[in-house]
Structures are given as structure tokens and as C-alpha cells.
Structure 1
Amino acid sequence: MIVAIVACEIGFWVLLVAGLAARYLLKARTLSTVLLLSVPLVDVALLAFSVIDLRSGGEASLGHALAAVYLGVSVAFGHRMLGWADQRFAHRFAGGPPPTPLPAKGTHERASHERRMWLRHLMAYGIAGLILVLFAALVGDAERTMSLWATFRLWTLVVVIDGIVAFSYRARRPISSANER
């Protein structure tokens, strides 16, 4: 299962880079569109492989839990990652504008950005949870799905910590002097 996840991650980046190279280096818009539209098929392939493995009696393992995490993150952050890569590729190879930097720490924009990213993380967590429920239903035996839920409990802790960090960002207020009071 881990091999399938690694293969899908490699497939994701290969299709993404090939699609961007076709767009900006080869100026092949149609090929670029086909390649970039194929990127989500990597997720479909991973989901199909996981379902087939579980339906054929495979033991629900850490690999299946990681596949659910991968799929959740891919759905929640995939479009954003495509935009991130597109912006950098266009700048590097096609004279596009420089990538937009993260807002400066201590600004209202940075605090808003961190909270939006946490909401995406929460969305990924929810999607992965639904996929884990699907996997558990396919297996149909609580004993054989324990590793799925152990991984999910760990991710719950990570999401909570990420939320605390995201909501700890605040815009700095200027320090007022004693004369201004």
C-alpha cells in the first residue's frame, strides 16, 4: 500500500510538471490541459487500488490510513498546489510575475491566511475521515480496522495543534506611549 501511495505522489508531480512544461515550454495548450486534467485521476487510482485491496480481503493497515490522508489532503489542497506550481513555473520559464509571497508575520492578512490554511486542513481531515469510514465499512470488522483509527487519532492531535497555532497569529498593534493615554 505504501508503494501505491509513493507511486501516486510521483504520478501527481510528473503529470503536474509535464502539464506545466507543455503549457509554458512547448506552448501546447491542448496537451497541457489534458495532462493537468489528468492529475485528479491519480487520486481516483489510489482510491480504487485501496478499495480493491480491502475488498479482496486485505488487512486494513497504516498504508490504507495514509492513503485516506493523502486523498483528503489532495482534495483540500490540490487546487491550491496546482496554482502554486503554475505561478512559479510561469515566473521561471515564461516571464510571468514573481510568485506572491506569504503575508508578513504580524499582519492581519497573515493571521487570516493561517486560519484559512487551517480550515483547509480541517477539510482534509474531514474528507479523510469519510474515506476511513468507507474503508472500515468495506472491511466490516472492527478488529481489522484498528490501525486506521489509530492514525486518525494521531491526526486529530495534529489538527488541534495546527488550529491552536493558526489562531495564535495576531496582527501586531503599535505600542502606545504613556503620553498617548
Structure 2
Amino acid sequence: MLVGLIVACEVAFWVLLLAGLVARYPLRRPRLGGALLLAVPLIDLVLLAATIVDLRGGATATFAHGLAAAYLGFSVAFGHSMVRWADQRFAHRFAGGPPPVRPPRYGLARARSEWREWGKGMLGWAVACALLLAAIVLVGDAERTRELESWIGRLSLVMAGWLVFWPVAYTVFPKRRPRNAATGG
């Protein structure tokens, strides 16, 4: 049931986001669009409430409970930038806004961008781990929350891999702009 709710929340995120942007730009209803976009975080509250109710009702934590915490943590960390990303594209396409800002592709600017994204990932990790720890304390039964402890390790491993293969790699081995054969440079 919880996995289905997580999928439903992800679908609802994109539906509300799209509805908000369509109202804001093609329909020229900025207040309605703003209200729909402000409702996007409510989806996370529904998932949080359902997870708490399930665990408080005596459920043993499963993979889905850990996934819910991870989803919520990374939604908090990346939700705003995802909305901004989509808003830039809609503004450009439907309201004559400037072209969307593209992330840097080369050199130190790319390394800084990778560090910034990893920092957001660490915020997501911190929120997810805080939710996992709160659920462990809330349930108060080590047998029922063993899976939640495992999730802390999984998320930490993912973040360590992200650190090594992206920000550190781009800092140590920055991708260089290809030489243009036409200019001889």
C-alpha cells in the first residue's frame, strides 16, 4: 500500500506542477497557478501522515517506509529547484521569458555546480535520516524498525558514492571544453 502511495505522490507532484504552470502561463491565471504550485508540498504531508499512521498502527517497518522517508527528504531538498527548472522552461515557451539557465558543462564552474547539487543531496540525506530516526524513536521497538536503520546505511552509501564520482571527480579531473578544430585552438 505504501509503495503505491509513494508512486501516487510522485504522479501528483508532476500533475500539480504541470497544472500550476499551465494556469500561470498559457491560461494567464498567475494567482491560480501560484496557488496550485503552493499546494505541491502538501503532497509530502500526505505521505508523511500515512507513514506515521501506518507505523503507529503497529506495522513493522518495511522497505516502503524507508523509501517514503528518502522520498520526503529528497523532495524537500530538490523540490524547489525542480519547480524552478520547470517554471523557467514554461516562462520561456509561453511568456517570452529568457532562455532557461543551463548548468555549466566544463571546468571549475562545473565542479562548483556538482558540489552545489551534492550539497542539496546532503540536505535530502539529513532530512531523510532525521525522519528515519524519528520513526525509530516513535515506534520504540528495535525489531520493528530494523529496516529503517538499514536505510540510513543505504542512503549514506549512495551519498558517499555521489561525492566520489561527481563533485570530487570533477574537482580533481575537470572536464575541459573541447578544442575547436576550425579555430585551431
1:46 is aligned to 2:35? no
Deviates more, 1:64-73 or 1:162-171: 162-171
Aligned pairs for 1:134-145 (under 5 A) are 134-145=134-145
Q: 2:146 — aligned with what?
A: 146
* Contact 1:60 1:139 survives alignment (8 Å): no
* Contact 1:72 1:128 survives alignment (8 Å): yes
Cα distance, 1:172 vs structure 2: 6.3
Aligned pairs for 1:59-138 (under 5 A) are 59-105=60-106, 107-138=107-138
Letter in 2 for 1:66: L
TM-score, L = length of structure 2: 0.88
- Secondary structure of the residue aligned to 2:144 is helix
Q: 2:3 — aligned with what?
A: 2
Cα distance, 1:37 vs structure 2: 0.4
CA deviation profile, 1:42-75 (whole Å, cap 9, x unmatched): 0111101111111111121111100100010011
TM-score, L = length of structure 1: 0.90
CA deviation profile, 1:56-105 (whole Å, cap 9, x unmatched): 11121111100100010011111111100111122233332222122022
Q: 1:163 — aligned with what?
A: 163
Letter in 2 for 1:161: G
Cα distance in structure 1, aligned partners of 2:35 and 2:102: 29
**What percentage of residue pairs aligned between the two structures are identical?**
49
Q: 1:176 — aligned with what?
A: none
Letter in 2 for 1:100: V
1:36 is aligned to 2:37? yes
- Secondary structure of the residue aligned to 1:100 is coil
CA deviation profile, 1:150-181 (whole Å, cap 9, x unmatched): 222122111001111212213468xxxxxxxx
Letter in 1 for 2:121: H
Cα distance in structure 1, aligned partners of 2:31 and 2:101: 27
CA deviation profile, 1:4-55 (whole Å, cap 9, x unmatched): 1011111111110000000001111111111000000001111011111111
Cα distance in structure 2, aligned partners of 1:52 and 1:122: 27
Letter in 2 for 1:79: H
Cα distance in structure 1, aligned partners of 2:10 and 2:155: 20
